[in-house]
Each structure stands twice: as structure tokens, then as C-alpha cells.
């Protein structure tokens, strides 16, 4: 046996994703590079680690056992690295976050300098919908979550980061007046929705219900990016977070349609389980956020606050 740590890391990611393509994306490698490392690793075993059935990759029982062993080895290597850095007086460990999909436009700016200041901290960041974010938090699989709708089913503590502003948007093929429209316009324009479980959809539907608004739902899509592209293509209109359409507004492929009492406002909150015992890296991060959030907002989101 002459496998490398890199091969173990690649194989472990393949077992977790059950897909070479997805593993390549998460490892920031090309698909051929992952396939080569997977083959080189497999060549060292007489028993198959994976198999392809109907163009889908499956991990064999033996492969699953090797995956567990690979995880243990990688954990030990990480522990050695953490201990070495800790011995030098550096903060070490893993910081695990789950964030809602639009949070990808927010959270990186609250992480960048903290990670630069603490190179011994390894970040794990999962971007998904609100339902899955809350599930991972409820199961105590993460240190923190970023949401724009606070969960009502679990006890949490939180730090409010910044406002989340939702506007009615459309492409730029049709002209709209600058004077705000009444809510009746929502009955005239076909609306594109996010999928069930989305925080954006939750805020949008709550607003519609509270104001008893008539709307025309035309389709449902599974990501803000998909909704954005559908609106640009002229398939309909939508109510979307401002944070995710900065470039499209600048490039004039999207426009905000003025409506009375818009934007719809919610708040981005960094949340964690009430009473959670923080690791040193998690405690350092929440302390950093509380100390520096105003400076971060001023530096990176000045354009956003002016809307």
C-alpha cells in the first residue's frame, strides 16, 4: 500500500457526495483530477470501493469501511496540525456553519478577516435552504447558522447582523413609473416563487398573508439564482433579496419595481443553540462578530444600506 493523504481526502469526499462531479466541486478540483486520484487509490485494493449502476456511483460496503478509516486518519492528521499550531500559541480547530442560500452574499464578509487573523482555524460552510439549516442546528451538527427567519421550534441565542431587504423585481424590457404602485400590481404580474423551505419564500408568503394580497403564482424554482435567471429571461417577476442582485441592477438586466411599503424587511441573524458550549474557535468567532460587525457593514455593505 502506498496511498497518499490527498488520495484519502479525495476518496472520503467521493464517499460523502456519492458523485465524482460533486466531490470535484467541493474540493475545488477538476472532475478528471478527482477521477484519476480515485482510480489510483482503487488500484491499491483487490476489492471494489465503488461501482457504477445506471450511471450513478455507489460506494460498496468495503468502500464504506475504507471511508470510515480514511476519516479517522484525516482527523488524526488534523489533530496533529492543530496541536502544532496550538503549541505555537495560535488559535486552532474547526468552525462549522450552515447558512441559507442568500447568506452566501453576506457571510463571507464576516469571515474573511477572522480567518486571516486565525490561519489555524478550518472552516466548514454548508449553503442550503432554511429547513436544512435549522435541521443541522437542531441536531447540534454546527456551531452557528445564518438565517433571515428565526426558528420558532428550538431555543436559540443570536447576534443580529444586518437587514435583509426584499423588493419586487423584473427584467428591463418593460418600463415602470418611478411613483410607487399599490399592492394591486402584484395581481397583474406573474410571480416566480422559491421552493418550500426557503427563507425568502417564508418572508414573502408571510408578508402576502398579513396584507391579504392577491398574487399570481406562475412557477416555483429551487434557488435564488434560478429565480434570478428566469426573471432576466422574462418568464415572470419575483420578490427577491436586494443582497443577491447588486450586479444585475448595476448592469441593468434587472430593475426594482417601486411598490408602496416595500421593501419587505427581515434581519440576518447569526444563531446558535441556547446553552451551547463553544469551542475556543467558536467563542473567538462570536466575540469577533460582536466587536466588528458595524465596521464590516460599513466597509462592505455601504451600497446596501443606502437603498
Residue in 282, 17, 285 with CA at minimum distance from that of residue 140:
282
Pairing of strands 56-59, 50-53: antiparallel
Q: Is the pLDDT of residue 78 over 80?
A: no
d(CA 40, CA 127): 31
Alpha helices in 60-156 (DSSP H): 61-87, 107-117, 130-138
CA-to-CA distance for 56 and 293, rounded, in angstroms? 44
Pairwise CA distance, residues 34 & 22, whole Å? 10
Contact 122, 128 (CB under 8 A): no
Task: Give per-residue pLDDT as tens, 132-182.
Answer: 899 999 999 999 999 988 888 899 999 999 999 999 999 999 999 999 999
- What is the dihedral sign for C-alpha 221, 246, 29, 65? negative
Dig out the grid coordinates for 45 from the structure: 485494493
Bridge partners (DSSP) of residue 170 are 255
Residues 6+ apart with CB under 8 A from 119: 85, 90
State residue 77 phi and psi, 5-degree precision.
-65, -45
pLDDT tens per residue, range 229-274: 999 999 999 999 999 999 999 999 999 999 999 999 999 999 999 9
Arithmetic mean of pLDDT, 268-282: 91
Question: Does the structure show a pLDDT above 80 at 89?
Answer: no
What's residue 200's pLDDT?
Answer: 85
Rounded CA separation 219/132 (Å): 22
Q: Identify whether the C-beta of residue 278 lies closer than 8 Å to the C-beta of residue 205.
A: no
Model confidence at 95: pLDDT above 80: yes
**Alpha-carbon distances, residue 32 vs 5, 20, 243 (angstroms):** 18, 9, 35
What domains sit in the chain, N to C, each tagged with a CATH number? 5-87 (1.10.10.10), 93-162+267-305 (3.40.190.10), 164-266 (3.40.190.10)
212: left (phi over 0), alpha (psi -120 to 50) or beta: left
Amino acid at each position: 500500500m502506498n496511498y497518499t493523504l490527498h488520495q484519502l481526502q479525495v476518496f472520503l469526499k467521493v464517499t460523502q457526495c456519492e458523485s465524482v462531479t460533486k466531490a470535484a466541486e467541493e474540493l475545488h478540483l477538476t472532475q478528471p483530477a478527482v477521477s484519476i486520484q480515485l482510480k489510483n487509490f482503487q488500484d491499491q485494493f483487490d476489492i471494489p470501493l465503488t461501482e457504477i449502476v445506471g450511471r450513478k456511483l455507489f460506494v460498496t460496503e468495503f468502500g464504506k469501511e475504507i471511508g470510515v478509516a480514511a476519516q479517522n486518519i484525516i482527523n488524526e492528521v488534523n489533530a496533529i496540525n492543530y496541536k502544532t499550531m496550538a503549541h505555537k500559541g495560535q488559535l486552532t480547530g474547526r468552525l462549522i456553519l450552515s447558512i441559507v442560500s442568500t447568506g452566501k452574499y453576506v457571510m463571507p464578509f464576516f469571515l474573511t478577516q477572522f480567518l486571516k487573523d486565525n490561519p489555524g482555524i478550518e472552516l466548514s460552510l454548508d449553503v442550503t435552504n432554511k429547513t436544512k439549516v435549522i435541521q443541522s442546528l437542531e441536531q447540534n451538527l454546527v456551531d452557528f447558522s445564518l438565517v433571515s427567519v428565526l426558528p420558532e421550534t428550538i431555543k436559540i441565542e443570536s447576534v443580529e447582523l444586518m437587514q435583509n431587504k426584499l423588493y419586487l423585481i423584473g427584467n428591463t424590457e418593460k418600463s415602470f413609473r418611478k411613483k410607487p404602485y399599490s399592492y394591486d400590481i402584484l395581481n397583474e404580474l406573474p410571480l416566480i416563487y422559491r421552493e418550500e423551505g426557503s427563507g425568502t419564500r417564508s418572508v414573502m408568503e408571510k408578508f402576502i398573508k398579513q396584507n391579504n394580497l392577491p398574487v399570481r403564482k406562475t412557477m416555483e424554482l429551487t434557488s435564488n439564482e434560478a429565480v434570478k435567471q428566469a426573471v432576466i429571461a422574462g418568464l415572470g417577476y419575483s420578490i427577491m433579496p436586494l443582497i443577491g442582485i447588486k450586479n444585475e441592477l448595476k448592469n441593468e438586466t434587472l430593475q426594482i419595481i417601486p411598490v408602496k411599503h416595500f421593501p419587505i424587511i427581515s434581519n440576518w441573524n447569526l444563531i446558535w443553540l441556547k446553552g451551547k458550549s463553544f469551542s475556543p474557535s467558536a467563542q473567538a468567532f462570536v466575540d469577533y462578530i460582536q466587536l466588528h460587525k458595524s465596521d464590516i457593514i460599513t466597509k462592505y455593505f455601504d451600497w446596501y444600506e443606502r437603498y
